[in-house]
């Protein structure tokens, strides 16, 4: 039985992952955007397994202040109920936008939710992960390929292209996971990106309009149901030994972009530390 935290646990891939992990007997903390969506998801999961060990916390993870607040509540919960040990952190929450939108803290929303939130959440929970020699998973995507970081304008303030900003955020996931393995594998942590494939969810229809929602409403019909990628998270979570590779689809490691190298990973790491106001080297 594993202790698991997952973000984006109220719909789509994240909700299906919760169901798969709970049915397999694991203990799960889910994070959702609102109290209502968390309540609804909990009722759904308990209808699938009436004694499921599921606890929800809600937070708008686009706001780094909220990531900090919810992670301290999670640490309290882990310390009181799980002996301070977190086996798996799944950073899965994500969004798509049609136009340039910023968070209260001034960051472009896709960059904030899809990259900075996983970075800061992992930083905040790293002690509990180290204690359990845990695994970290981020939901990335094939869309990280044929892409580079716009280093001089990471927030895409100029000539905003929604798809490019999304692709960059998924590339940032890959660079983060490479950087995390580099720094923490000696402490027993292993980190992975999952490529879920094309999945039929509502992601492209939430707070979007025009071409983005039109394209997604057509494209999603070709996607698999969320229970399909959920098996990958179950595989990474439950394998006795660390699965091989860093980028996983199904149960196989996959090739990733050559842009995902140490130099780029270190550069993004430093920038992310600055933006989040943390230093992984100086843990609590």
Ligand X SMILES: NC(=O)c1ccc[n+]([C@@H]2O[C@H](COP(=O)([O-])OP(=O)(O)OC[C@H]3O[C@@H](n4cnc5c(N)ncnc54)[C@H](OP(=O)(O)O)[C@@H]3O)[C@@H](O)[C@H]2O)c1
Chain residues that interact with ligand X, rule: CB under 6 A:
8, 10-14, 32-33, 37, 60-62, 92-95, 113-114, 139, 141, 196, 198-199, 201-203, 206, 223
Q: Kindly tell me which of 3 and 114 has the beta carbon lying closer to ligand X.
A: 114
CB-based burial of residue 142 (10 Å sphere; 0-12 exposed, 13-18 middle, 19+ buried)?
middle
CB closer to ligand X, 32 vs 134 = 32
Print burial letters for 62-101: b (CB count within 10 Å at least 16), e (below 16). Answer: bbbebbbebbeebbeebeeebeebbbbbbbbbbbbbeebe
Q: How far is the CB of 194 from ligand X (least distance, A)?
A: 8
Comparing CA positions, the residue from 175, 177, 182, 90 lying closest to residue 137 is: 90
For residue 220, the SS3 value is helix
Q: Count helices and strands (H / E) in the chain.
A: 10, 8
Task: Pick between residue 137 and residue 178 the one whose CB is nearest to ligand X.
Answer: 137
> 55 vs 188, which CB is nearer to ligand X?
55
From the list 179, 174, 91, 173, the residue with the least C-alpha distance to 136 is 91
Cβ 254 to ligand X, closest distance in Å? 13
* Least Cβ distance, residue 142 to ligand X (angstroms): 7
CB nearer to ligand X: give 70 or 78: 70
Rounded to a whole number of angstroms, the minimum distance from the CB of residue 145 to ligand X is: 12
Q: How far is the CB of 7 from ligand X (least distance, A)?
A: 6
Q: For residue 109, is it left (φ>0), alpha (ψ between -120 and 50) or beta? A: alpha
């Amino acid at each position: 039985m594993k202790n698991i935290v997952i973000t984006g646990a109220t719909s789509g891939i994240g909700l299906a992952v919760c169901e798969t992990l709970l049915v397999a007997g694991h203990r799960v903390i889910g994070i959702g955007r609102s109290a209502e969506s968390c309540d609804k998801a909990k009722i759904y999961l308990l209808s699938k397994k009436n004694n499921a060990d599921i606890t929800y916390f809600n937070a708008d993870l686009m706001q780094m202040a909220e990531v900090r607040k919810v992670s301290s509540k999670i640490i309290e919960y882990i310390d009181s109920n799980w002996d301070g040990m977190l086996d798996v952190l799944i950073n899965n929450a994500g969004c798509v936008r049609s136009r340039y939108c910023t968070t209260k803290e001034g960051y472009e929303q896709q960059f904030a939710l899809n990259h900075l939130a996983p970075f800061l959440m992992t930083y905040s929970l790293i002690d509990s992960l180290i204690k359990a020699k845990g695994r970290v998973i981020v939901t990335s995507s094939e869309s990280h390929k044929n892409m580079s970081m716009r280093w001089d304008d990471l927030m895409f303030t100029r000539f905003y292209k929604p798809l490019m900003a999304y692709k960059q955020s998924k590339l940032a996931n890959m660079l983060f996971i490479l950087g995390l393995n580099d720094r923490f594998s000696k402490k027993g942590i292993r980190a992975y990106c999952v490529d879920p494939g094309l999945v039929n969810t509502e992601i492209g229809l939430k707070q979007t309009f025009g071409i983005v929602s039109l394209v997604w409403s057509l494209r999603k019909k070709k996607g698999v149901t969320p229970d399909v990628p959920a098996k990958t998270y179950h595989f990474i979570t439950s394998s006795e030994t660390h699965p091989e590779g860093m980028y996983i689809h199904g149960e196989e490691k996959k090739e990733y972009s050559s842009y995902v190298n140490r130099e780029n990973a270190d550069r993004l790491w430093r920038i992310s530390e600055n933006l989040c106001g943390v230093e992984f080297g100086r843990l609590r």
